Amino acid sequence: MTHTTTLTPEQLEEFGAELDAIRQRIIADLGEADAAYLRKVVKAQRAFEAAGRALFYLPPAWPLAVASLSVSKILDNMEIGHNVMHGQYDWLGDPDYNSRMFEWDNVCPSEQWKYSHNYLHHTYTNILGKDRDIGYGILRMDEEQEWRPYYLGNPLYAFLLMVLFEWGVAAHDLEVDEIVAGNKTWADTKKLHAGLIRKIRNQVLKDYLLFPALTGPLFPLTFAGNATANLIRNIWAFNIIFCGHFPTGVATFAQEDCEEETRGHWYYRQLLGSANITGGKLFHVMTGNLSHQIEHHLFPDLPARRYPEIAAEVRDICRRYGLPYNTGSLSRQLGSVFVKIGRLALPGRGRRRAAQVSPAAEPAVAA
C-alpha cells in the first residue's frame, strides 16, 4: 500500500530531532555494561555450541544436543551476528566484534549479507522496487506487487523459504528473480560466486562431514542432529524476521515519495515500515532483540540490548505525533503475516487498494 504523509515538514523535522536526541543520549552512555552483555551472550553461545557438539556422543541425549546446538546457532546469527555486523559494537575496537571482520555460523557470507541488508534494506526500507526484502524476489508480500499466476504458489514458496531460510539468505544477493526476468545475467553475479562457494563449503564441511565423522559410528545421528539444528534456526529466524515488516498495518512506500527524503521522513518511514513483537526478556534475547524491529530500524547501529529501554520513549513520541506503533504478540503478528501470504497468492489489488487508508490515520495497533 502507498502512504500519504500526514505530518507537515516542520513536524517531521521535530519528530526526527526527538529521535536524534535519543540516539545521542544512548551513544554517550555506551560503555562497560554493553561490552559485558555482549561478552556474556558470546560466552553462553560458545557454551551451548560446545555442549551441543559434545552431547552427540551420548545417543539418548540427542534431543538435548539438538536443542543446545539450535540455541547456539540462533544466538550466533541473531543477537550476536546480525547485531555485530550492523556495526553496533564497532566502538569497542575489538576485532572479535568488528562489523568488517565478523563472520557468522550461516551459509551466507557476511560481506554479501551486509550489502543487501545493512545498505539496501535498511536504507530503502519498504520502498517498492528498491527494498528487495519485500518478498525477497520470491513472494508477493504487498498489494502493489503486480499479481501473476506464479504467485498462486505464495504459501508454498513461503514454506520452502522458511525451511531453507539460510540458503535463501545466501542466494538473496544473486537476485535470481532478476536473472529469470532477464534484467541481469548469471555472469553479472560472478564476483559473488567465490565468496559464496567458500562459505558454503566451510559450513557444509563442518556440520555435515567433520563433526559427524568425529562421532564415529554415530555419524548418521550427528549428521541428522546438525541438520535439525540448522532447520530449527531457519524456522525461528524466518518467523521472527517476517514479523518485522509484514504484519497488517505496516506501510510500504513509493519511490517518488522518498526522493530527496529528509532525515525526519526517513525515521517516519522506518517507523511505519516496521512492527514489533511483545514478549519476555529471554524471548527478546532469542530474537536478537529484533522483536524491537521498530527501534532497530530507527537506530540500526545502536547495540540491540538498548532497544527495550528506548521503546517506551519511542512509543510516547509516536503517540504525541499521532503515528501508529505496530506491536503485538508473536501469534498475533505471525497470524496476520500468514493471512497476508495466503491472501496475496490471489489477485485482487485494485479493490483492496481503494479500501486502504493512510496508515498514519489508522489508530495505533495496541499490544
Partner 1 sequence: MSIDLAGRVLRSRTVAALASPHGIDRYLKQINPMWAAHEVRARIVSVEREVAVAGHPTVATVTLQPTSTWAGHRAGQHVSVGVEVDGTRRTTRVFSISSPDSHPGDRFTLTIRANPEAGERSVSTFLTERARPGQLVHLSQAEGDFVLPDRMPEHVLLLSGGSGITPVMAMLRSLQRRTHRGRITFLHFAQSPEHTIFGAELAEVARSGHGIDVHVLHPRQGDPYLSPAFLERLVPGYRDVPAWACGPASLIEAARAAYDGSDALRVEYFKPPRVSGTAGGSLTFTRSGVTVPNTGAPVLEQAEAAGLTPEYGCRMGICFSCTARKSDGVTRNILSGETSSLPDDDIRICVSAPDGDCAIDL
Give the count of residues interacting with partner 1 (CB under 8 A).
46
Nearest-approach distance from CB 363 to partner 1, in angstroms:
30
Q: What per-residue string of b and e applies to 267-292 under the rule 16 or more CB within 10 Å gives b?
A: bbbbbbbbbbbeeeeeebbbbbbbbb
Answer yes or no whether residue 159 interacts with partner 1 by CB under 8 A. Answer: no
Q: For 115-152, give the secondary structure using H, E and C.
A: HHHHHHHHHCCCECCCCCCCHHHCCCCCCCCCCCHHHH
Contact range with partner 1 by CB under 8 A, out of 4-12, 19-27, 63-71, 128-136: 19-27
Q: CA dihedral defined by 344, 347, 349, 352, rounded to 10 degrees? A: -70
CB of 360 to partner 1, least distance (A): 23
Q: Are 244 and 274 in contact (CB under 8 A)?
A: yes
Q: Please identify, using beta-carbon distances, which residue of 198 and 353 lies nearer to partner 1.
A: 198
Give the x-and-dash track for 282-321 against partner 1 (CB under 8 A): ------------------xx--------------------
Interface positions, 30-89, toward partner 1 (CB under 8 A) = 30-32, 34-35, 42-43, 46-47, 50, 86-87
d(CA 289, CA 305): 7
| Cβ proximity to partner 1, 115 vs 338, nearer residue | 115
Q: Over the range 67-83, which residues count as b (16 or more CB within 10 Å of their CB) and which as e?
A: bbbbbbbbbbbbbbbbb
CA distance 249 to 255: 19
In the complex, what is the shortest distance from the CB of residue 183 to partner 1, in angstroms, rounded to a whole number?
Answer: 21
Q: Does 105 bind partner 1 (CB under 8 A)?
A: yes
Nine cell digits for residue 195 = 565468496
Find the binding residues for partner 1 in span 228-287 (CB under 8 A): 263, 266
Q: Nearer Cβ to partner 1, position 183 or 202?
A: 202
The pattern of x and - marking residues 195 through 234 that bind partner 1 according to CB under 8 A reads: ----x--xx-xx---xx--x--------------------
Our CA dihedral for 195, 220, 168, 102, rounded to 10 degrees, sits at -50
Kindly report each contact of residues 128-133 with a partner whose C-beta sits within 8 Å and lies 24 or more positions away, as own/partner. Answer: 128/252, 128/253, 128/254, 128/255, 129/255, 130/255, 130/258, 132/172, 132/175, 133/245
Q: Whole-number minimum distance, CB 217 to partner 1, in Å?
A: 19
Give residues 180-199 in contact with partner 1 (rule: CB under 8 A). Answer: 199
Nearer to partner 1, 99 or 356 (CB): 99
Nearest residue to 228 via CA among 67, 91, 107 = 67
Using the rule CB under 8 A, give the single segment among 5-13, 21-29, 144-152, 305-313 that binds partner 1.
21-29
Mark the segment that binds partner 1 (CB under 8 A) among 101-109, 149-157, 177-185, 310-318: 101-109
Q: How far is the CB of 233 from partner 1 (least distance, A)?
A: 15
Distances (CA, A) of 310 to 222, 298, 307, 331: 42, 11, 5, 24
What is the binding site for partner 1 (CB under 8 A)? 20, 23-24, 27, 30-32, 34-35, 42-43, 46-47, 50, 86-87, 90-94, 96, 98-100, 103-105, 114-115, 118-119, 122-123, 199, 202-203, 205-206, 210-211, 214, 263, 266, 300-301
